[in-house]
Amino acid sequence: MKGNFVEAGLLEIHRFLPPALLEGFDIEEIGLDEFLRYVAKARYIQELEEGIVARAISEVFSE
């Protein structure tokens, strides 16, 4: 999987982007620039989720 950038990107996109953001997403029709924008959105949401989990863990252990 490491060698296939598109497959890895698709996994990130489908894992982290909500269905509303995927409306109109068609891998066969979009260009590389648009694909990279979707990957960037997925990674941003992943960072947000990591921050939420990190804060929750921090709060649990600071009590």
CA dihedral 17→19→24→28, nearest 10 degrees, is 60
Burial of 38 (0-12, 13-18, 19+ CB in 10 A): buried
Domain count, the chain: 1
pLDDT digits (tens, 9 = 90+) for 4-57: 999 999 999 999 999 999 998 999 999 999 999 999 999 999 999 999 999 999
Q: What is the pLDDT of residue 3?
A: 62
* Phi and psi at residue 38, to the nearest 5°: -65, -40
Range of the domain at 17: 5-62
Q: Which amino acid is at 35?
A: F
State how far the alpha carbon of 29 is from the alpha carbons of 9, 34, 61, 62, in Å: 16, 10, 47, 49
Q: For the whole model, what pTM was predicted?
A: 0.82
DSSP category for residue 18: -
| pLDDT of 1 above 80 | no
